[in-house]
Structure 1
Amino acid sequence: MKTDQTVFSPSSLGRRSFVAAALATPSLSALAQFRVEVSGVGLTQLPIAIAPFRGEDQSPQKIAAIIQADLERSGQFRAVSAAGQSLDEGSRPDLSVWRQRSADSLVAGSVTRLADGRFDVRFRLWDVVRGQDLGGQSYAVPQIDLRLAAHRIADYIYEKLTGEKGVFSTRIAYVTKVGQRFNLWVADADGENAQSALSSPEPIISPAWSPTGGQLAYVSFESRKPVVYVHEVATGRRRLLANFRGSNSAPAWSPDGRNLAVTLSRDGGSQLYLMDAGGGEPRRLTQSSSIDTEPVFSPDGRSLYFVSDRGGAPQIYRMPASGGNAERVTFSGSYNISPAISPDGRWLAYVSRVGGAYRLHVMELASGNVSAVTDTTADESPSFAPNGRLLVYATQQQGREALMTSTLDGKIKARLAGQGGDLREPAWGPFQK
């Protein structure tokens, strides 16, 4: 019987658990600076002006530009030019000037190098329409954390103006191949500041964040077969989780962090199993003669969504997390894989084959309504932001693999791309505890 690595390998892209021969791609430099290219126009975007921070000419990071890129990428904001204005957090701006520029909000701040080498970053947010001071914050950070300070400022602004938590200071994980070496990276949510978690001459796939963000489960082929490891992000230590006979793949954490669902072929075909996060003997969850793989827990931990070809072609199913009868969830399209569930449990994102193209789709689970998010042809590995407002996914653009973020309606997309390379297997981490 064919394994899930061959049956469900729909393109030359590496899918979460459908890889093997699908991982040979051009080399890249993951350390190259990312650029953010925002495309599309949302129906309602808040116009905001972000003045250049006083002193940022002497700063290694352009704080205002990072904040602006974060907010634009969210799809909720539209930048208004702040050219020619000199402000900082202590200024009392003439808000009539900003009303004339059609800005609803204004951000001003400063960056100052301290005697101990750290940087003091300060900002203030103004409601231009109401003429209100919406507060501000200050951060004293080492140079390495300047970008993080900018992301936290963007989070503050996002929450003040939308009422929802921002995700700019969260992290993503992704995989690259440089020459003949594969790398697992942990980076800022905009793809910058990447730190290598693992380098290997063999493929690395399917990174999955623990609920607290302290650990990453992933699949490595360094033993010349898929094996599941768990990596501690802070220390770099890792431990073996699943190395049973046959294939070990597609790890997914339970919301309480106590267990992982995995796909194992230890008893023949690929089936779903539940394992204690500390390791030990797995408990089999599915008992089908088909391929069952790519499990993902519902946010309440009661259900598992997964991919199975039990109906003749890959579709997404749902069953109790303890095992039991499975019900089919996707009916639109003949080939649906790579499920991801939004943190509020409202949305299912997945990849559907449409006329030979693999495109990202979103389903509202309550109604079953499905909409296409993309019009590209080789999408893979969707992952929700922890506030549920954005998706990160991998795709091909102009012959290269790239990471993209998109709003759920597909109206606002942003490309996170290295200068000369390809990126794959993204996973968006949780809010930091």
Structure 2
Amino acid sequence: MSLMTKLGLRTLVASCLITAGAAAHAQLNVLVTGVGSTQFPIATANFANEVNSPQQISTIVRQDLARSGKFTNIDAGSAPVSETDSVDLGAWKAKGADAFVSGSVTRLANGQYEVRFKLYDTVKQQSLGGLSLVSPESGLRMSAHKIADYIYQQLLGSRGVFATRLSYVIKSGNKYLLQISDSDGQNAQSALTSPEPIISPAWSPDGTKVAYVSFEKKKPIVYIHDLPTGRRVIVSDQKGNNSAPAWSPDGRTVAVALSKTGNTQIFAVNADGTGLRRLTQGSSIDTEPCYSPDGQWIYFTSDRGGQPQIYKMPAQGESAGAAQRVTFNGNYNTSPRISPDGKTLAYISRVGGAFKLYVQDLSSGVATALTDTTHDESPSFAANGQYILYATQVNGRGVLAAVSTDGRTRQVLSVQGGIVREPSWGPFMQ
């Protein structure tokens, strides 16, 4: 993998994407390949009346909890249990469940569905509350994800990310597709179909838009795509390459890497395409910008020291303060991403010819490898900072993967018979 492949524009070719003939709305298959050091035992009963529902809510909840690597599903049997039913919590505790979930699905007169559930702590013998969610049929899966998020937060004390979304790129025949899916890879929809490559999708902070680079006009141009309406605007169509869009935390600004001055440099532009300003000024290659969560810094990749390393500069650019080198472990580090709490840097490091996902504690500088694969790229933190999504290869085939930041829980997300690339994990939905 050449320096320009990693630092410059990453041009996609058919050989590194999905094979021809795959379904345009191919679902990602999820394989959990590791679990956490401790797991919370929980029993989720079949929901009352869900046999008549287009989606089996309790099944989706169980799958979400298992996929996190932090829960063990205790067999709850086949009998449905409503949230209004009396529950013998002692009996469930005796079966090994420290928590129990019951619920129901009701089709309303207007055609929508109401999903209700209740969560119990069997150890303390008390209710931990529940939710009532109303949605159209198309929203039933998201209702299940929200239930799993509620359970995750109540039992583990941090917010779950089951109700967030993923974006990624596949190629079907001669077409490239920007896919948006649930966090489990299901419910995939194509936001954009193009005969030319699409790369570097990046979610807006509010989760309603995706910035990306499209080659549809025979050159790389940065677009912002409003997902609810499908409306697109060009953010950067400067001379040369326009690449690597990254949103500021307030959603008003997009940092981009442009070669309009010759060597690739970092610029910032307003989200409506106005107000372009240059942030780096050197003769090196500066690319792959990433804002810190507080908006005060931009982390980026630069070869100004001879080999690519990660640096940070004030968000106003180098005119407001000199860039500072951040990575010192290894001689080839790229693709910076900062955790939502601002404490951890994820990046790709070349180690002995292999490209691996690393995390670095920004206060101590200690760097740790998270993967044992050799073709990792495009890291993206989950909104709760506990998982990182990235692209890699398994058995010679490109897949998406997710790993917990402690390295214990691993997932592989793949398309049957094909290859996926360019992942980005969306934010919490407000």
- Alignment TM class, shorter chain as reference: over 0.9
CA–CA separation in structure 2 for the residues paired with 1:351 and 1:96: 49
TM-score computed with the length of structure 2 as normaliser? 0.94
Shift of 1:350: 0.8
1:37-76 equivalent positions in 2, closer than 5 A: 37-76=31-70
The TM-score normalised by the length of structure 1 is 0.93
Q: Distance in 1 between matches of 2:122 and 2:27?
A: 34
Residue 178 (structure 1) aligned with residue 175 (structure 2): no
Question: Is 2:267 aligned against 1:300?
Answer: no
**Where in structure 2 are the equivalents of 1:349-368 lying within 5 Å?**
349-368=346-365
- Using the TM superposition, give the Cα deviation of residue 35 of structure 1 relative to its aligned residue in structure 2, in angstroms: 3.0
- SS of the residue corresponding to residue 5 of structure 2 reads coil
Alpha-carbon distance in 1 for matches of 2:73, 2:330: 38
Per-residue deviation at 1:281? 4.4
User: For residues 380 and 24 of structure 1, what CA distance do their matches in structure 2 show?
Assistant: 13
CA distance in 2, matches of 1:16, 1:155: 38
CA shift at 1:218, angstroms? 0.5
Question: Is the counterpart of residue 219 in structure 1 residue 213 in structure 2?
Answer: yes
Indicate the residue corresponding to 1:373 in structure 2: 370
1: CA distance between counterparts of 2:422 and 2:362? 24
Q: 2:200 aligns with which of 182, 201, 206?
A: 206
Number of matched pairs: 425
The 1-side partners of 2:5 and 2:14 are apart by 8
Match of 2:10 in 1: 18
Match of 2:97 in 1: 103
Q: Structure 1, residues 344-394: CA drift from partner, whole Å, max 9, x if none?
A: 101111111122221111111111111111101111111111111111111
CA distance in structure 1 between the aligned counterparts of 2:232 and 2:332, rounded to whole angstroms: 35
- Distance across 1 between alignment mates of 2:182 and 2:8: 21
Summarize the Cα distance change of 1:417–1:163 in structure 2 as closer, same or farther, 3 Å threshold. same
Q: Which runs of 5+ in 1 are unaligned?
A: none
1:120 deviation in Å? 2.4
In the alignment, which residue of structure 2 is the partner of 1:419? 416
Flag the 1:199–1:34 CA change in 2: closer, same or farther, 3 A: same
The 1-side partners of 2:406 and 2:425 are apart by 18
Aligned to 1:273: 267
Check conservation: 1:16, 1:250, Cα contact below 8 A.
no
Q: Is the 8 A contact 2:266 2:286 kept in 1?
A: yes
Greater Cα shift, 394-403 or 208-217: 394-403
- Unaligned residue ranges in structure 2 (runs of 5+): none
The alpha-carbon deviation at position 340 of structure 1 amounts to 0.7
AA aligned opposite 2:41? P
* Amino acid in structure 1 at the alignment position of 2:406: D
1:149 corresponds to 2:143 = yes
**1:318-357 → structure 2 map (5 Å cutoff):** 318-324=312-318, 325-357=322-354
Q: Does 1:159 align with 2:153?
A: yes
Aligned to 1:159, what secondary structure does the other structure show? helix
2:30 to 33, 36, 39: 36
Larger CA deviation: 95-104 vs 260-269: 95-104
CA deviation profile, 1:229-256 (whole Å, cap 9, x unmatched) = 1111110000111111100000111111
Rounded Cα–Cα distance in structure 2 between residues aligned with 1:30 and 1:139:
30
**Are the structure 2 counterparts of residues 320 and 17 from structure 1 closer, same or farther at C-alpha, using a change threshold of 3 Å?**
same
**Aligned partner of residue 419 in structure 1, secondary structure:** coil
Q: Show the 5 A alignment for 1:220-235.
A: 220-235=214-229
Matched, 1:428 2:425: yes
CA distance in structure 1 between the partners assigned to 2:332 and 2:429 by the alignment? 35
- Tell me, in whole angstroms, the C-alpha distance in 2 between the residues paired with 1:124 and 1:254: 38
SS in 2 for 1:431: coil
Which of 410, 418, 427 is residue 407 of structure 2 equivalent to?
Answer: 410
| Residue type at the aligned position of 2:426 | G
Deviations along 1:181-225, one digit per CA (max 9) or x if unpaired, are 101112111121112111101100011111111211100011221
- Distance in structure 1 (CA, Å) of the matches to 2:359 and 2:14: 25
Look up the match of 1:8: 4
Bigger mean CA offset, 234-243 vs 329-338: 329-338
Q: Of 208, 224, 235, which residue of structure 2 is paired with 1:241?
A: 235
Contact between 2:16 and 2:398, CA under 8 Å: does it hold in 1? no
Moved more, 144-153 or 320-329: 320-329
How many angstroms does 1:419 deviate by? 2.5
Contact 1:184 1:196 in 2 (8 A): yes
Question: How far apart are the structure 2 equivalents of 1:392 and 1:366?
Answer: 23
The CA distance in 2 between the partners of 1:174 and 1:61, in whole Å, is 24
Aligned counterparts of 2:55 and 2:423: Cα–Cα separation in 1: 25
- Partners of 2:15 and 2:276 lie apart in 1 by 28
In 2, distance between residues paired with 1:277 and 1:33?
Answer: 31
**Deviation of residue 23 (structure 1)?**
6.3
CA contact under 8 A between 1:263 and 1:272: conserved in structure 2?
Answer: yes
Secondary structure of the residue aligned to 2:327 is coil
Question: Match of 1:113?
Answer: 107
Identity of aligned residues (%): 54
Alignment equivalent of 2:388, drawn from 384, 387, 391: 391
Question: How has the CA–CA distance of structure 1 residues 178 and 64 changed in structure 2, closer, same or farther, with 3 Å as cutoff?
Answer: same
Query: In the alignment, is the contact (CA less than 8 A) between 1:29 and 1:418 conserved in 2?
Result: no
Contact 1:29 1:419 in 2 (8 A): no
Q: Which residue of 2 aligns with 1:283?
A: 277
1:34 deviates by 3.4
Of residues 149-158 and 350-359 in structure 1, the stretch that sits farther from structure 2 once superposed is: 350-359
Contact preservation (8 Å) 1:183, 1:198 = yes
| Cα pair 1:110 1:121 within 8 Å, conserved | yes
SS of alignment partner, residue 364 of structure 2: coil
Of residues 179, 184, 202, the one that matches 1:190 is: 184
One-letter identity of the residue aligned with 1:36: V
Letter in 2 for 1:256: D
> Which residue identity does 2:305 align to in structure 1?
G
Cα distance change of structure 1 residues 314 and 21 upon mapping to structure 2, 3 Å threshold: farther
Q: Matched residues in 2 for 1:260 and 1:167: separation?
A: 24
| Conserved 8 A contact 2:266-2:289 | yes
